Copies of this chain bind each other. A is one copy, B any other.
Amino acid sequence: MSTALESNVRIQQENFVVTDEIEAIKKVSRNIGGITTFLGTGRELSKGENISKLDFEHYPKMAEKKLEEIRIQAIKDYGIIEMIIVHRIGEIDIGENIVLIVAAGEHRKETFKACEWAIAELKRTTPIWKRETTSTGEVWVQDTP
């Protein structure tokens, strides 16, 4: 696989720095005029219950493969210049970064569309699971039927 795969879609335990990812995507082209970023963070409340901890698990190789498919399709379908996707796994505290999608393009409209599509597609197709710890115990969240 290309180096693009290794750097542009990642699943990792450690935190990421939004500015670093944006600066990396800027280097791809001097024709980038708009960059839309979606950052998902750990909320305290879920269905009215207080969450104390989140835990993410993924299916290695398949999850990375799905993220790369999303990146390729976003570039193709929305005409953006580049996309970076990073998802963290392992224990995540309230307020911490979970997932980042960066869509860079010449104009803003396609970057909004691509970014919003990509996070929905990630939730739909990428084998990553979230376990929430609340006062009543631990539960695997099942969002997608």
A residues sitting closer than 8 Å to B (CB atoms) are: 17-19, 22, 26, 30-45, 94-95, 106, 108, 111-112, 115-116, 119
How far is A22 from B96 in the complex, measured between Cα atoms in Å? 11
Within 8 Å by CB of A34, from B31, B34, B41, B106, lies B41
How far is A111 from B17 in the complex, measured between Cα atoms in Å? 20
Q: Which chain B residues border A43 with CB–CB below 8 Å?
A: 30-33, 106
Contact check, A34 vs B26: say whether CB atoms are below 8 A apart: no
Q: Which chain B residues border A39 with CB–CB below 8 Å?
A: 22, 34-37
> Contacts A19-B18, A112-B116, A116-B112: A26 and B41 contacting too (C-beta < 8 A)?
yes
A contacts with B: majority SS: mixed
Q: Which chain B residues border A17 with CB–CB below 8 Å?
A: 19
Q: For residue A81, give the distance in angstroms from its CB to the closest CB of chain B.
A: 11
How far is A94 from B43 in the complex, measured between Cα atoms in Å? 37
Contact check, B108 vs A119: say whether CB atoms are below 8 A apart: yes
Q: For residue A64, give the distance in angstroms from its CB to the closest CB of chain B.
A: 22
Q: For residue A86, give the distance in angstroms from its CB to the closest CB of chain B.
A: 14
How far is A34 from B31 in the complex, measured between Cα atoms in Å? 28
With most chain B CB atoms within 10 A of its CB, the pick from A38, A111, A119 is: A38
How far is A21 from B94 in the complex, measured between Cα atoms in Å? 18
How far is A17 from B37 in the complex, measured between Cα atoms in Å? 14
> Contacts A17-B19, A18-B22: A35 and B38 contacting too (C-beta < 8 A)?
yes
